[in-house]
Amino acid sequence: MKKIALKTHDNHEFELQAFAAANSEAPVFLICPAMAVKASYYAPFAEALQAAGFNAVLMELRGLGSSNKQPHKGNNFSYHHLVDIDWDLAVNTIREAHPKSKIVLLGNSLGGQMSALYTAANPNKVDALILIASCSVYYKAYKNKIGTLLGTHTLAAAAALFGYAPGDKLGFAGKEAKSVIYDWAYNARTGKYRASGSSNDFEALLPQVKKPVLAISLAKDQLAPKSAVEALLAKLPSCDIEHQHLSAQDLGLEKVSHYSWAKQPAPFVPRIQSWLDKAVS
């Protein structure tokens, strides 16, 4: 594994973790984490992709791990900073290192949502999109509608009070930037996406995306239930979508969760490889 230090134009410093395949021209998977999850958590999945002959790169979310932009009252950022700045630098860096490779964005939860937004704004830079346990957080897509709405907006209210969201103290996620939580709660309330400060109209761009998409949802995943995954996929009507809704039994596992799949790559990588062979020539 090789660490690649990056610095954005707004002085965000973070690292990519690159797992190189023997063939530098093989597809590159940019693995994008869930909210409050460090990039290193996905190392077993990156290693499995590497062993299967792919290049894999772990993305660090702003505010976590190697990032120098830890959320606090004086340090705020939004979806705009993630999608338009951090994702763009990461993808451009990969393209420079692998000019002949297909680039596949593979996102978990928030990482999948941001990858979908990035693809919508930059369709010429992405070849395919994989969403694993990733969904819209629109409250109407959940069985517990009122609980979802109250939970997301309690975190937003806490962010307004403290200048950042103390998710670590409230029992959901970790410390999160105020405007990330505002954008997240806006999606929960309206079902629409915005990135505060961005010039991109993502609601207009998402329906125009024409890319192969693999969505994997997990049975009993209360954070990304099938209905909420379908709510995100509905925003990509022009894409060629394959949605696999899988139980632990389907995967040959004793149990699997919203996060644990990243440490259980064996049943997932062959599915991804088979889909990619068909979807991306």
pTM above 0.95, yes or no: yes
What was the pLDDT predicted at 47?
Answer: 98
Q: Which residue from 94, 126, 118 is spatially nearest to 6, judged by alpha carbons? A: 94
Q: How much of the chain, in percent, has pLDDT values that exceed 70?
A: 100
* pLDDT score for 13: 98
Average pLDDT score, the chain: 97
CA angle 50, 212, 198 (to 5 degrees): 95
Query: What digits encode the pLDDT tens for the residues 49-61?
Result: 999 999 999 999 9
Instruction: Supply 236's token pair.
Output: 């990509």
DSSP letter string, 84-144: IIIIHHHHHHHHHH-TTS-EEEEEETHHHHHHHHHHHH-GGG-SEEEEES-----GGGSSS
Q: Are 77 and 179 in contact (CB under 8 A)?
A: yes
Q: pLDDT tens for residues 175-190? A: 999 999 999 999 999 9
Distance CA 207, CA 11 (A): 32
The residue behind tokens 């192969």 is: 212
Tell me the three state secondary structure of residue 168.
helix
Fold (CATH) for 2-138+200-279: Rossmann fold (3.40.50)
Q: What is the 3-state secondary structure (H, E, C) of 13-36?
A: EEEEEEECCCCCCCCEEEEECCCC
pLDDT at 245 (0 to 100): 98
Q: Determine the Cα–Cα distance for residues 102 and 277; give it in Å rounded to an integer.
A: 12
Average pLDDT over residues 64-85: 95
Tell me the CB-side half-sphere exposure of residue 211, using CA atoms within 13 A: 33
Domain extent listing, the chain = 2-138+200-279
141-174 tens-digit pLDDT: 999 999 999 999 999 999 999 999 998 888 888 8
